[in-house]
Amino acid sequence: MSPIRSLAFVVNAQKPGAQELAEELMETAREARVSVKQTDTFPVPGSFLTETDAACVIGGDGTLLGVAASAAEAGVPLIGVNRGSLGFLTTFTSEEAREHLSSLLAGDYTLAERVMLECNSETEQHDLALNDIVIKDERPSRLTRLSVEADGEFVTTYSCDGLILASPTGSTAYNLSAGGPLIHPSAEVLALTPICPHTLSNRSIIFREDVDLVIAPEDPDSCVTIAIDGQRNLRTCQGGKIAIRISPHRLQLIHRASFDHFGILRTKLKWSGGVTDGG
């Protein structure tokens, strides 16, 4: 892959040791004659990622989610360094980042493209999500009725606590907790998973990459909250429609050449079992 000659650092200063690690990695980059810059501001300033070859995000998965939309729109790949807990997206530990940064800067890495979801409301609110878009009644613990159309065809009306629209990347997040399927991150599909549906036959639906979904609350007096990656909220009222599709933008994640997706799943989800001799 192409060497990295300019590297932006996005640091979650609330994570213990994140700033100290950033200073170490920036010194490594300078020694390799790579230009660096840093921010700990969220959301990332609009022009911060321009004219950079890559960005190193130091924090947890939530930190990376906060940068994902800006990075996808700017076409800047991300190196995720985990100072949080699970680390599905921030796949480098601090030790691995120290060990491998020089080789990454020299071009020894692979790029993984991840689908982004695009959400538009009738009130002209727009956003991108890497993990998921979650639609719920804005009143806590309130049952909601949400009708769904796919390419103009009526799917069904869900009576539920909400709907999760998950990308393959987000299939291991809220979608998994709600009983949705695991999806390989390279698959270009979209999963719709109802949260606690009142009809037990309501299950997840996997839609193809070019589907256009329209979701609307059936109660004309209700307002719903649209949570984008659990970080940013949109809102619509009076039966306002919500359009969701896979965005033309893709997020690129930088991995080591030896990156093992299923190894990450086995470790993070604590899968048991192994290979037997058969019989």
Q: How many CB atoms lie within 10 A of CB 71?
A: 26
Token pair in block for residue 35:
């230009």
Q: How many CB atoms lie within 10 A of CB 60?
A: 24
Distances (CA, A) of 165 to 37, 107, 218: 35, 35, 18
Q: Where in the chain is the domain with CATH 2.60.200.30?
A: 116-247
CB 175 within 8 A of CB 164: yes
CATH topology of domain 6-109+256-268: Rossmann fold (3.40.50)
Which amino acids are annotated catalytic?
A: 61
3-state DSSP of 254-279: EECCCCCHHHHHHHHCCCCCCCCCCC
Q: Where in the chain is the domain with CATH 3.40.50.10330?
A: 6-109+256-268
* Full-model pTM: 0.92
By three-state DSSP, how is residue 76 classified?
coil
**The domain over range 116-247 is classified in CATH as 2.60.200.30:** yes
Residue-wise pLDDT tens for the chain (279 aa)?
Answer: 999 999 999 999 999 999 999 999 999 999 999 999 999 998 899 899 999 999 999 999 999 999 999 999 999 999 999 997 778 899 999 999 999 999 999 999 999 999 999 999 887 789 999 999 999 999 887 899 999 999 999 999 999 999 999 999 999 999 999 999 999 999 999 999 999 999 888 899 999 999 999 999 998 888 899 999 999 999 888 778 999 999 999 999 999 988 888 888 888 888 886 655 554
